[in-house]
Amino acid sequence: MGTNNFYYNELHENFGLSKKITAIIKKAEKAITSEFENIDELSEYNQYKVIKSMQECRISETHFMPTTGYGYGDEGRARLEELFTLVFDSQDALVRPQWGSGTHVISDALYAVLRPGDALLSITGKPYDTLEETIGFSQDNPPQGSLMDWGISYKQVELNAKGEIDIQKVLDILDESKNIKAILIQRSRGYEWRPSISVYDMQEPIRKIKERRPDVFIIVDNCYGEFTQKIEPSIVGADITVGSLIKNPGGGLAPTGAYAVGTKNAIDLLSYRLTSPAIGREVGSYAATYLPFYQGLFMAPHVVGQALKGAILASYLFEALGYEVLPRWKGEREDIIQCIRFNSDEELIAFCQAIQQASPVDGHVVPVPWEMPGYMHKVIMAAGTFIQGASIELSADAPITPPYTAYLQGGLTYAHVKYALTSVISQLNEKGLISI
C-alpha cells in the first residue's frame, strides 16, 4: 500500500490528478484484468496477420516513395492495395488518399453498383446521419445529386428485439422488391442505442441473401470495426467492405484517405466511380510519402487494442457511477465506440468538454454544441487530435437531444484514455454533477 500511496502522490504532485480518483481507477483495473487479457490476445493475433501479409507482399522502402501526375506505374500504391487485399481476406482492394472520409467511400460504393430504377436496402436500420443527404431520405424533394435524385429508391429493415439482423424480413422484402440491387450493413451503431454488428453475426444473413438473390451487392460500412475481431466482413461474403483510414486501419498515422476491399467485380466497378470508366484504378498519384499508410496499418492492431481497453475502463467506471452504458464492460466488442447515457444536456456537455481538456492538441479549446453539416441536431464534438477528425484518437461526440448519449471512441494509448477519464470524473465531481 505504501508503494501505491507514493504513486498516487506523484500523480497528484506532478499532474494534479486526484489521489482518490486514481485509486478508484486502479481498483477498477483489477476488476477488468481478464477483459484486458482477451484484448491482448486479439491484438497479437491481428498483429501477426498484418506482419505475415507485409512479408508476403515483400514490402520494402521503395514502396514508400511518392509519385506525381497521373501516377501510372505507382508501385507503392499498387503494393499497398495488395497488402489490404491480404489483410482483409478479400479478392481485391482500393486504398486511396483521394477519398476524404468514410462517408465519401461509402457514397462512391453505392453509386458504383446502383443504377436508375434500382433500390438500396439497409438491413441494420437507419444509416449514420452523414449518409442521409447521399441517400436523399426526402422522396418529395430529394437533395440534388442524391441517390433518390438519380431515381434510386431506398428501404430499410430495423434490427430485431435482440439487436440482430432480421433476416426473414430481409428475405421477404427481397422477394417482393426485385429492383433491390444493393444491401447496406452498418457495423457501428451511429447515433443509435443498439449493439454493433459482429462479423460472425452477419455471416448467416449474408449467406441466405446470396442464396436468394446472388445478383445483389452487399456493402458493409466497416468504420470503427476493423481489428476488433479476428475476421473481417470480406471473408463472410461481403462484396464491398469500406472504411476510413483516419479510423482503425490507419493506426493514428495515416493522414487521410479510405479503403475498399471485396470481390474483383465490385472493386472494378468502384474504381470506375473513383476515376472514370476505362481508366479505373490505373491513375491516382500521391506526392507525399506512402510511409504513414504502411506504418499505420502495421500499428493498427495494437492501437485498436489500446482503444478497446480504454473503452472497457470507461464502461466499467461510468456503470459504477450509476450511468447506463453500452456495451457493458464485460463481453464481446465489435467496434471501438463506448456509449454513455447521461441525465441531462449539462452532464453530456461537461463530459465532452472534459475529454477535450485532456487532449494533447487543442486542450485549451472549449467545444460547444453547433449545427454541424450532415447532422439532424446540434452536435458537440471533443477531438483534440493530431489528424483532424481522426476518431481512432481519443474523441467524444454527441447530439444534443434526449436521451443524452455521449459516444466515446479511440485512444492511441491506453494511458491517455486513463488520464482523460481521471480528469473527466474529477471535473464532473467538482461541478457537482456526480458524487464519488
Q: How far apart are CA 151 and CA 1, in angstroms?
A: 69
Q: Tell me the residue range of the domain where 6 lies.
A: 2-46+298-430
End residue of a domain, out of 289, 306, 323: 289
CA 217 vs. chain centroid, Å, equals: 21
- 349 and 264 within one domain: no
Residue 51 lies in a domain: no
* CA angle in degrees (0–180, nearest 5) for 271-274-277: 60
The closest of 335, 129, 315 to 227, measured between CA atoms, is 335
- 150 and 247 within one domain: yes
- 125 and 190 within one domain: yes
Q: How far apart are CA 312 and CA 327, in angstroms?
A: 9
For 227, left (φ over 0), alpha (ψ -120 to 50), or beta? Answer: left
The closest of 420, 374, 416, 419 to 191, measured between CA atoms, is 374
- 271 and 143 within one domain: yes
CA atoms within 13 A on the CB side of 134: 20
Q: Which three cell numbers stand for residue 390?
A: 481522426
- 227 and 90 within one domain: yes
- 363 and 273 within one domain: no
233 by DSSP, 3-state: which?
A: helix
Question: Do residues 303 and 255 touch, judged by C-beta distance below 8 A?
Answer: no
Instruction: Label residues 84-109 b or e (16+ Cβ within 10 Å = b).
Output: bbbbbbbebbbbbbbbebbbbbbbbb
Residue 268 pLDDT:
98
* CATH number for position 411: 3.90.1150.60
End residue of a domain, out of 289, 313, 340: 289
- 28 and 80 within one domain: no
- 125 and 203 within one domain: yes
- 317 and 338 within one domain: yes
Residue 138 pLDDT:
65
End residue of a domain, out of 289, 311, 332: 289
Residue 5 pLDDT:
72
Q: How far apart are CA 241 and CA 245, in angstroms?
A: 13
pLDDT digits (tens, 9 = 90+) for 48-106: 999 999 999 999 999 999 999 999 999 999 999 999 999 999 999 999 999 999 999 99
The closest of 355, 294, 350, 362 to 87, measured between CA atoms, is 294
Question: Do residues 226 and 300 touch, judged by C-beta distance below 8 A?
Answer: yes
The closest of 84, 92, 63, 86 to 75, measured between CA atoms, is 63
The closest of 413, 293, 414 to 50, measured between CA atoms, is 293
- 253 and 132 within one domain: yes
Residue 52 lies in a domain: no
- 243 and 156 within one domain: yes
* CATH number for position 160: 3.40.640.10
pLDDT digits (tens, 9 = 90+) for 313-324: 999 999 999 999
- 94 and 11 within one domain: no
Residue 405 lies in a domain: yes
- Residue ranges of the chain with per-residue pLDDT less than 50: 1-2
DSSP 322: T
Residue 170 pLDDT:
98
Residue 58 lies in a domain: no
Q: How many domains does the chain have?
A: 2
Q: How do strand 180-186 and strand 119-122 relate by DSSP bridges? A: parallel
